[in-house]
Amino acid sequence: MGKGSKPPAAPDPYKTASAEAQFNRLDTYSPSGTATQYGYTDAAGNFVRGAPPKGSQAAVRQVESNFERQIRELLEPASVSLTDRIVTDNIAGMPDAARVGDRGTVAQSMFDRSFSMLKPAMNQNNDRLINNLQSRGIPVGGEAFNEAYGAQQRETQDTLSRLAMDADINAGNEQSRQFGLDATARSNSIAELVAAMGGGYNPPNAQPNGNAAGVNYGGMVGQKYQADMANYQAQQQQKGATMGALGSLGGAMLMKSDRRLKADIRRIGVRGRLPVYEYRYLWDAVGTKRVGVMAQEALNDFTSAVKLEADGFFAVDYAQLPEAA
């Protein structure tokens, strides 16, 4: 039936994806000349700018400007030298790994220090007690002397027991504190070393973002395909309606089909080799739509189907025309 007889071809997914990628990836250039370029890798492994052909690997390339290259070549050796010096100094002066000291030794040291401060007072109390007992006529070794002196010794022993317990607790706290200090010192030294080893010249990044504002090319292609398919389906429906109308004419009686009696003529299809038209008779109201052929055109191939009537106008016997197809 002419244009519209075949459905529109579906979009090629690869071409659609490639086109959308091209729209959304822009080569970018900084003021100094540094660039980010998009393309693909050819069979020889070379970078080629442009849309990647089917089956090739998409790629992106960073291009260094002469200015950036000169700065890098100037600063990289100095950065390597400084890093080497920092690493050497840190390794030589790095603190030992944190270790937990012997708790008993720490506790004994704390006990001795506390006892040395209390010992003069304890001795003084003993002397004062003995002098007091003797001045009261209580002999050394007597029952009253031993009872009073023993009570003071028990009090002194309780004090020493508390000192030992406190020394043990404080020794544990001191161990934790010292371990934390040692671990922090070593961690700081290692962090400085790692930072130095990971250091180097980092060129400035003054390039703009290479992503465009998101062109939905695939969506637009899909919408166009849907519109084309809807148009095709509408044409097919119109064709079906036309063929139905033509088919109904096959059983009709002889009908006036002279072009001279028709107005608003518009070709809409074919019946066999004959063009089919939409029209109205001159006596029809404007807007009336009829479907049929032109008798003058049917005279060439279907002479027997055309009749010249008494009024001088041609009529067509649609039963003698080829079936609509």
Maximum CA extent, the chain: 178
Is residue 282's pLDDT more than 70? Answer: yes
C-alpha span between 167 and 109 (Å, rounded): 8
Query: Which tens digit of pLDDT belongs to each residue from 155-179?
Result: 888 888 887 888 788 878 887 887 7
Is residue 244's pLDDT more than 60? Answer: no
User: 321 forms bridges with which residues in the sheet?
Assistant: none
What is residue 151's three-state secondary structure? helix
Range 239-263 burial, b when 16+ CB lie within 10 A, else e: beebbebbeebeeeeeebbbeebbe
Q: pTM for this structure?
A: 0.30
Range 54-93 burial, b when 16+ CB lie within 10 A, else e: eeeeebeeeeebeebeebeeeeeeeeeeebeebbeebeee
Task: Tell me which amino acid residue 110 is.
Answer: M
Lowest-pLDDT range, 180-194, 234-248, 256-270? 234-248
Query: Which tens digit of pLDDT belongs to each residue from 35-94?
Result: 788 888 888 888 888 888 877 788 888 888 887 778 778 877 877 776 776 667 666 666
